Chain A
Amino acid sequence: MVSNGMNAGRPARSAFFAAVLFLGLLCTGRAQTYEGRELVQASLLADVSAVVPGKPFTVGVLLRMVPHWHTYWKFPGDAGIPSEMNWKLPAGWKVGEIQWPIPLRLAEPGGIQIYGYHDEVLLMQEITPPASLTESTVQLGGEASWLVCEKICIPGSANLKLDLPVAAQNAPANEEIFSRYRRSLPQPWPDSKVANASWKRTSSELQLTVESAALANYPATEFYPLPGENVVAGHPKTERSADGKITFRVPIETQDRNVSALNGILVFGQSENSPERNAWSLTGAAPVATVSAPAPVLSGSIAKFLLFGFLGGFILNLMPCVLPVISLKIFGFIQHAGQDRRRILQSGLAFIAGIFAWFIGLALLLIVLKSAGREITWAFQFTNPYFVLAMSAVVLVFALNLFGVFEISLPQFANRSLLGWTAREGDAGAFFQGVFATVLATPCTAPFLGPALGFAFTQSGWMIFVMFLAIAAGMSSPYLLLSAQPAWMRVLPRPGAWMVRVKQLMGFLLMATLLFLLWVLGAERGVEAIIWASCFLLALSVACWMKGAFVGPTASFTSRLVAIALMLLLVLGSGYYFIGQKFRATKLVSASPATPAEGDWIPFTPERLASELKQGRAVFVDFTAAWCLTCKFNEATVLESSAVREAFQRRGIVKIKADWTNADPAITKILKQFGRPGVPMYVLYPGNNAEPILFPELLTQNLVLEKLETVSPQIAAE
């Protein structure tokens, strides 16, 4: 049933010699014999005895090379070109991608490394015939072409044909060879609990780190890259660290800084190039969905985006994550309400300076990182556990201060050196409150901030800077108004003893914020991390208490000195032990730790999304993070509400949760595709390759239900 339509093609041996001796026409002659030997025998095989209309089957181009000669893999390495098959199929037939078996890694003198096959290779492709066929026999055919090399390289090609009967039923054929080559195909990447892969980009290198206990028994573990078009990648160097992590360092010569990950296969076995190897296919670098993401929201003038930035900054004041701190400031205004105007304005300006200082610092940092080629995103600092830890410490210290455990006072020398600055502690305090409020505000991307930042991140460093200034201006505008027009503050109550109570109450609000931060830490690093961080925070609290008890203005110089020394010892010592040793040893919790198969949400992987979309399903993706309060708010009040849940279910929409808590690069990539610098982001793919729909960042039930309503006809049409 298999007919090998072997065809030697145009060139014969004489043509080859003519080609070598002659200049012209050198390349049209595709010699297949060399020194009297036929270098490659090509033939076409099918895994079925007959074609059943509409039922996919597999065909393979079998290339048999003479000993020592090789043909190439999909990515040939430093030299060579991959084999190809140009099908000439009747209309209505579909053909899939070549399924490449795990290649050999071959080294040539001079540090040249290539990926290819010796002796024999079967390049399989899935073919789908149309649902109805009138013929009783079909002929499948095409031109296979390859480059075969040993010490020299010779291109070859052949017109291959395969006749198959058409029948209502078929039986397997060529089982041995197909099952042998199917075994040597790379497998899909396993669950992130089995093997977790993460990428890092430096200016000249991509680093792939794989954590997997399953690989411990395979001494020969390698990464074979499959770089995209015009991505110039070198040979990965493998490093195994003591804790079982394997790092592959891939030299990258491509100038495109956006290359942050590569496709490729992770090959593992007992020895290099052994036939018993297995491989996992890593496809994170592929554009996740073949459906085109809408062009990032880039229309509109710079002025418009600056206005968005300003408005977004203003709205930051209303975000749930920043409200507790804003209340601090409001409280400050109440306290100052009785004082003179100049004094209030000064304090307000100090607060605003704090806001600006943080945003300017963040802008500069982002510009530096961007020019260093790192993936950057809004609120990226919250993906760093040490940052969250530092924030917890600051929140705790503020809370203890509000409880009255100690008073914040600047050392004398600092007071004196701050000339021109009226050097009253109120101003410095206000400045740091400004910084603090802003730091907590960053993980909330308000509706206007999203497009504005998305726009800025695609622009020059200068533009990022100006955009951050606009946001800072927006955020500080209410305080400027209040402090410039204290008359408006008359509506606020008069100061009195009640203020102490309110102050303490605010302290509890901060403690709640602390709980939230610790929860984020737990999501990132596990329960142990919370414990060790809390131990450190406890020591820090004791130090604060010592400050209040023994470093008062009435204490003698010596006792103050001793107390300060003890405090430093306590903070540094516990910091070294609990953070430097214990906390550091906690492991990153693998992807989507906060939501292990939470309810009916499917954890995100690029493959999963692509496969759901491929099947024409409608998919809703919730891009979230443990530290994103806005996300949690939306989830609790809208996405998990019974009305919305029911609507999703009724329409059969697949719900995927993309957890960005640990800055998963695959998720970062999609955020970028949509021009968004951070979470929350909500995308509805209506199915059947229709354009994805982006939701605003603050959800309401009505809004979601409405949007689902508008897409239902499309889904129904499926």
Chain B
Amino acid sequence: MKTKLLVTLLACLASTAAMAADSPSVGSAAPDLSLTDSKGKTHTLAQYKGKYVVLEWFNPECPFVKKHYGGGNMQKLQEEFTGKGVVWLTINSSAPGLEGHLTAEQSEKKIGEWKTKQTALLLDEDGKAGQAYGAKNTPQMFVINPEGKIVYEGAIDSKATPNAADIPNSTNYVKAALDESMGGKAVSNASTKPYGCSVKYKKA
């Protein structure tokens, strides 16, 4: 019987490995990405090794994204953590012609209008980075530690609504994850269900 159990256990491990290809899970190494930002500069994840990195999936037309930018919630978070040395990369995976797509020029304009505070706004028109991370929502958040491991993935906060009025009464999971992880603690809510609009990928 023990042999049978051992086989079952091995099968479990094997299936874990197979699943990892779908979307990286908490604790696994963050897939590298190489994207151009709104200023034409290329960013890779490798260059930020040794620092905390936040990835934020973005679509300026999505009501759930607007919920967090409208009242300055997202900007405040970006300002707080970039101030603490965190690299904050906002990624727009909307394909040309679809909701939320922005050219480099339009992105710069949006940054100015919305007074966003991220390290860089990256353009992912072909959706490769979004697919590598299995990002399906805007907003959808990832927190990567200095060793390049994902320590949080999921929603921005605990209230899945498009109402900005709900922000004060919700728990911000990204802030909690960064505070805990940077304080040397394990992230207590490391994986949550993201909520928002679907990422507007190009048709396959």
Chain A residues close to B by CB (< 8 Å): 19-20, 23-28, 78-81, 108-112, 114, 147, 149, 151-155, 202-205, 227, 230-232, 234, 251, 253-255, 365, 368-369, 372, 381, 384, 386-387, 390
Cβ-defined contact, B198 with A78, below 8 A: yes
Nearest B-chain residue to A151, judged by Cβ: B99
Cβ-defined contact, B161 with A112, below 8 A: no
Taken together as a complex, chains A and B put the C-alpha atoms of A664 and B66 apart, in Å, by 47
Given the contacts A23-B113, A25-B70, A109 and B202 also touching, CB distance less than 8 Å: yes
Residues of A within 8 A of B100 (CB): 152
Nearest B-chain residue to A373, judged by Cβ: B12
CB distance from B13 to the nearest CB of A (A): 8
Cβ-defined contact, B162 with A368, below 8 A: no
Cβ-defined contact, A387 with B1, below 8 A: yes
Nearest A-chain residue to B153, judged by Cβ: A253
Residues of B within 8 A of A253 (CB): 23, 25-26, 153, 191
**Other CB < 8 Å A-B pairs besides A153-B64, A234-B22, A386-B1, 11 of them?**
A27-B63, A79-B198, A108-B198, A110-B201, A152-B61, A152-B200, A202-B11, A230-B192, A386-B4, A387-B1, A390-B1
Cβ-defined contact, A27 with B70, below 8 A: yes
Residues of A within 8 A of B11 (CB): 202
Contact of B197 among A149, A251, A368, A387 (CB under 8 A): A149
Q: Would you call B177 an interface residue if the criterion is a C-beta within 8 Å of the partner chain's C-beta atoms? A: no
Cβ-defined contact, B127 with A110, below 8 A: yes
Q: Would you call B46 an interface residue if the criterion is a C-beta within 8 Å of the partner chain's C-beta atoms? A: no
Cβ-defined contact, B19 with A251, below 8 A: yes
Residues of B within 8 A of A381 (CB): 1
Contact of A26 among B1, B67, B131, B154 (CB under 8 A): B67
**Number of interchain pairs (Cβ within 8 Å):** 137
Nearest B-chain residue to A75, judged by Cβ: B193
Nearest B-chain residue to A384, judged by Cβ: B1
Greatest chain A CB density within 10 A among B114, B162, B164 is at: B162
Residues of A within 8 A of B33 (CB): none
Contact of B201 among A24, A109, A231 (CB under 8 A): A109
Q: Would you call B137 an interface residue if the criterion is a C-beta within 8 Å of the partner chain's C-beta atoms? A: yes
Taken together as a complex, chains A and B put the C-alpha atoms of A157 and B31 apart, in Å, by 40
Nearest A-chain residue to B115, judged by Cβ: A23
Cβ-defined contact, B197 with A110, below 8 A: no
Q: Would you call B41 an interface residue if the criterion is a C-beta within 8 Å of the partner chain's C-beta atoms? A: no
Q: Would you call B190 an interface residue if the criterion is a C-beta within 8 Å of the partner chain's C-beta atoms? A: yes
Within 8 A of A (CB), among B93-120: 93, 95, 98-100, 113-114
Given the contacts A204-B16, A253-B26, A255-B26, A109 and B203 also touching, CB distance less than 8 Å: yes
Cβ-defined contact, B160 with A27, below 8 A: no
CB distance from A108 to the nearest CB of B (A): 5
Contact of A81 among B134, B190, B195, B204 (CB under 8 A): B195
Cβ-defined contact, A79 with B196, below 8 A: yes
CB distance from B137 to the nearest CB of A (A): 5
Given the contacts A110-B131, A111-B131, A231-B193, A27 and B201 also touching, CB distance less than 8 Å: no
Greatest chain B CB density within 10 A among A20, A109, A114, A203 is at: A109
Cβ-defined contact, A149 with B193, below 8 A: no
Nearest B-chain residue to A201, judged by Cβ: B12
Taken together as a complex, chains A and B put the C-alpha atoms of A154 and B100 apart, in Å, by 13
Taken together as a complex, chains A and B put the C-alpha atoms of A157 and B164 apart, in Å, by 15
Residues of A within 8 A of B35 (CB): none
Cβ-defined contact, A23 with B9, below 8 A: no
Cβ-defined contact, A26 with B130, below 8 A: no
Q: Would you call B53 an interface residue if the criterion is a C-beta within 8 Å of the partner chain's C-beta atoms? A: no
Residues of A within 8 A of B114 (CB): 23
Residues of B within 8 A of A372 (CB): 9, 12
Cβ-defined contact, A110 with B199, below 8 A: yes
Taken together as a complex, chains A and B put the C-alpha atoms of A230 and B193 apart, in Å, by 6
Nearest B-chain residue to A110, judged by Cβ: B201
Taken together as a complex, chains A and B put the C-alpha atoms of A392 and B68 apart, in Å, by 65
25 contacts between A and B (CB under 8 A): A23-B114, A25-B70, A26-B164, A28-B165, A79-B136, A80-B195, A80-B197, A81-B162, A109-B200, A109-B202, A110-B127, A110-B136, A110-B198, A112-B198, A112-B199, A152-B197, A153-B62, A154-B63, A155-B162, A204-B15, A230-B193, A251-B19, A253-B26, A255-B26, A390-B1
Contact of A79 among B69, B98, B137 (CB under 8 A): B137
CB distance from A393 to the nearest CB of B (A): 12
Cβ-defined contact, A232 with B16, below 8 A: no
Taken together as a complex, chains A and B put the C-alpha atoms of A149 and B198 apart, in Å, by 9
Q: Would you call B34 an interface residue if the criterion is a C-beta within 8 Å of the partner chain's C-beta atoms? A: no
CB distance from A533 to the nearest CB of B (A): 15
Contact of B164 among A27, A110, A232 (CB under 8 A): A27
Interface string of B63-106 (1 = CB under 8 A from A): 11011011100000000000000000000010100111000000
Within 8 A of A (CB), among B146-177: 153-154, 160-165
The 9 closest A-B pairs by CB, nearest first: A110-B201, A79-B198, A26-B70, A26-B66, A78-B136, A152-B99, A202-B12, A109-B201, A155-B162
Cβ-defined contact, A153 with B161, below 8 A: no
CB distance from B115 to the nearest CB of A (A): 9
Residues of B within 8 A of A155 (CB): 63, 162
Cβ-defined contact, A202 with B63, below 8 A: no
CB distance from A345 to the nearest CB of B (A): 31
Residues of A within 8 A of B25 (CB): 204, 253
Contact of A27 among B23, B66, B99, B136 (CB under 8 A): B66
Taken together as a complex, chains A and B put the C-alpha atoms of A205 and B16 apart, in Å, by 8
Cβ-defined contact, B16 with A203, below 8 A: yes
Cβ-defined contact, B63 with A28, below 8 A: no
